Amino acid sequence: MATTIAVDPSLSMQIVRGGSNQHGAVVEEIQGLIKVYKDGHTERPQIVPCVSPTLPPVFGVTTKDFVVDEFTDVWARFYVPKSNGKLPLVVYFHGGGFCVGSAAWSCYHGFLAKLAAEARCLIVSVNYRLAPENRLPAAYEDGVKCVTWLKHEVVKGSSEWWSKQCDLSSVFLVGDSAGANIAHNVATRLCFDNPYPLILKGIILIQPFFGGETRTESEKNTVQSPRSSLSLSASDTYWRLALPCGANRDHPWCNPLGKGSAKMEETRLLPTLVCISEMDILRDRNLEFCGALAKAGKKVEHVLYKVVGHAFQVLSKSQISLTRTNEMIAHIKAFVSADYCPL
């Protein structure tokens, strides 16, 4: 039976009030986001508030948190808009370089509530394990486990209200930044698993967090500005903390187009929508990824959002960002509503 949980924001962060001597020297740090000490202790300042699963009635969306795996402490937040029938299922993975972030962050709570209401879909936002305490593939494993858990809950006839509205024949894997990387890698695993009666229809990758040892033009030339939340140095640090020890940025989990990665032509991939930001250091990698999919004969669409940076849809409140966010939600709605056949 599904278990409901209440998220205590104080438990979502690991903060040490005392000095650093007890943990040794700081070995990795992204200012204001994460600090890792020599003994492995990790601090994450609460830069974004965590909020409970409640929403104003105006949204018309019911929200609730459920435990997915008690052993690994993986849980998910559900967003279910009012509906008289079944709804497409969107499994969402938040961003944060695999190292920070939460499904309870206020910025994701607001964005996903709006997406569920306007795109008319049931959204399950996964709170997966974070690196460096849990390096990749932990987040991928959590994603697969959550999708499998959802299938079992619906198939067995769970008493939870959401299971009656969940359309297992129309499932999409979606994420932003590192979450988009997770969505892509979870999809490649599930495509070989045949999780019937759950039918994967497509993936939506919002500013997917990919990398590589050779720098792209946008990585070299995009100046960090208030319009973009991701710098090149932060990107490199995230990858050092998230990849298996000793791996570099040409590891297949980081660089899907690298020499060690599976050939796109030989990989079963779902119809894909890629959302790209013009001012993002990841712009060129995202465009190269779309080009590789198209060259391999895969179904791929991409949208380039002008004059905005990385994660604008959740971190920026400027008028241009709000406009672009509305455009993004419209594009996601159209993709979810399209009659795509899984490959």
Maximum pairwise Cα distance, the chain: 58
**250 catalytic per annotation:** no
**251 catalytic per annotation:** no
Rounded CA-CA distance 102/8 in Å is 12
Residue of 177, 228, 229, 316 with catalytic role: 177
Report residue 266 CA to chain centroid gap.
Answer: 25
Report residue 252 CA to chain centroid gap.
Answer: 18
220 backbone dihedrals φ, ψ, rounded to 5°: -80, -30
Is residue 168 within 8 Å of 116, Cβ to Cβ? no
Give the contacts of 241 (CB within 8 A, at least 6 positions apart): 28, 34, 36, 97, 98, 99, 131, 132, 135
Is residue 23 within 8 Å of 39, Cβ to Cβ? yes
**280 catalytic per annotation:** yes
Residue of 65, 176, 280, 284 with catalytic role: 280
Pairing of strands 200-206, 166-176: parallel
Residue of 109, 302, 310, 331 with catalytic role: 310
Pairing of strands 122-127, 200-206: unpaired
The tokens for 223 are 């100046």
At which residue do the structure tokens 């991939």 appear? Answer: 269
Q: Which residues are known catalytic residues?
A: 177, 280, 310
